[in-house]
Amino acid sequence: MATEQQSNIAILGAGTIGRGFAVAFAAAGHSMRLYDPDAAQVDAAREQALASLASLAHHGLLDGAPEVIAARITPATTLAHAVADAALVQECGPERAEVKAAILGEADAHAPPHAVLASASSALPASAYAADLAGRARCLVAHPGNPPFLLRVIELVPAPFTDTETVARAAAIFTAAGLHPVHVAREIEGFVFNRLQGAMLREAYALVRDGIASVEDIDRIVRDGLGLRWSAVGPFETVDLNTQGGIAEHARRLGPAYARMGAERGQHDPWTEQLVADVVRQRRALLPLEDWSARGAWRDAAIMRTLAARKAASD
Ligand SMILES: NC(=O)c1ccc[n+]([C@@H]2O[C@H](COP(=O)([O-])OP(=O)(O)OC[C@H]3O[C@@H](n4cnc5c(N)ncnc54)[C@H](O)[C@@H]3O)[C@@H](O)[C@H]2O)c1
């Protein structure tokens, strides 16, 4: 019997995300079947997967020979064959509810009873296309970043009808594939990844519209400023480390300015005392204030390593 470490995976849809998942799972030692009604997509996916694996190997990020790892990706000529012995079915078809409903319906009919049925949907929740399936309790969204073999997080979003056991099994399989599961408490459009991305994109569009900055300069501010820090720490840890006294002091000093910026855009999501207290409690549990200076030095060193890698790449 296959262990969790070597679970068989079925990937349905061999476009951008299906290819990325194929590389991530193969690199982690899983064997898989890749299905797409357009056979040319499967051929192109296998070719591109080999190129991505070779590139990972070139950067010292692959354990094993690219050709051996790529051989774990087997084409399937029918969806039924692809899912026949899968522990995880990862749906990567078009972002259309009726197409996802059809794909998952067929997967539900042919996958073994223990298989988890996950959709890579970017914004559509599982309840928009899996509610009528007999096996709906084993359906959920598993939303990756692109490409999944580089961005090592996956959002697990259960529908109201998803079994907690399904979420746990999905989390174990993705963890074994080196993807860190993020549990999204309930269905919400765009989940967390795209809501965060969306907040920034909405502001970026508005700044361009109002003639405040160019597209190039906004990308530069993120690439060489905000994003450089975010490659080491997230937005909460960023402001926690930016202000002596931590995030509580940051909220006290700058909360009103951020509230005014939000109000300018018609947004009213106040950082209430209670909300700030909750954020502070979570941050202090992760980083006691006595370790604050050491963590700041760690962040700086992490940014220095990124800058050194960028410099080496441009030399
Ligand atoms: N591209 C991204 O950055 C990204 C990131 C995260 C999630 N997603 C989501 O992943 C899913 C796939 O997106 P993509 O960018 O890979 O799209 P894509 O257009 O590159 O690929 C979709 C693939 O699905 C295939 N397909 C069509 N009908 C099918 C069927 N009945 N069964 C199986 N495959 C079928 C198509 O032939 C195509 O190869 C979407 O839900 C998308 O929102 C995309």
The length of the chain is 315
User: Region 20-34: what's the mean pLDDT?
Assistant: 97
Residue 6 confidence (pLDDT): 59
Cα radius of gyration (the chain): 22
Residue 1 has pLDDT above 90, yes or no: no
Q: Which residue has the tokens 């290819």?
A: 19
- Share of residues in the chain with pLDDT > 70 (%): 98
> Which residue has 């900055």 as its token pair?
213
Closest CA to 191 of 151, 140, 237, 238: 140
pLDDT at 167: 98
| Averaged pLDDT for residues 41-56 | 98
Looking at residue 7, its pLDDT comes to: 76
CA distance 112 to 156: 21
Instruction: Determine which of 7-11, 214-218, 229-233 has the lowest per-residue pLDDT on average.
Output: 7-11
- Across 268-277, average pLDDT: 96
Give tens-digit pLDDT for 122-160: 999 999 999 999 999 999 999 999 999 999 999 999 999
DSSP labels, 125-182: -GGGTSTT-TTGGGEEEEEEPSSTTTS-EEEEEE-TT--HHHHHHHHHHHHHTT-EEE
Tokens of 275: 């909300």
User: What pLDDT does 72 receive?
Assistant: 97
Residue 2: pLDDT band by 50, 70, 90 thresholds? very low
4-183 belongs to CATH 3.30.420.130:
no
Whether the per-residue pLDDT at 3 is higher than 60: the answer is: no
Best mutation site among 90, 122, 153, 156 for ligand 1, i.e. most ligand atoms within 8 A of its Cβ?
122
- Which is higher by pLDDT, 12 or 2? 12
* CA 135 to centroid of ligand 1, rounded, Å: 22
Q: Where in the chain is the domain with CATH 3.40.50.720?
A: 4-183
Q: Please tell me the distance between residue 94's alpha carbon and the centre of ligand 1 in angstroms.
A: 4
Which atom of ligand 1 is nearest the CA belonging to 35? 33
As a whole number, the mean pLDDT across the chain is 96
Mean per-residue pLDDT for 107-123? Answer: 97
Residue 5, pLDDT score:
47
- Per the CB < 8 A criterion, the answer to whether 78 and 35 are in contact is yes
pLDDT tens digits for 150-162? 999 999 999 999 9
pLDDT band at 48; cut points 50, 70, 90: very high
Q: Is 76 helix (H, G, I), strand (E, B) or coil?
A: coil
Q: Which residues line ligand 1 (CB under 6 A)?
A: 12-18, 36-38, 41, 92-95, 99, 103, 120-122, 143-144, 146
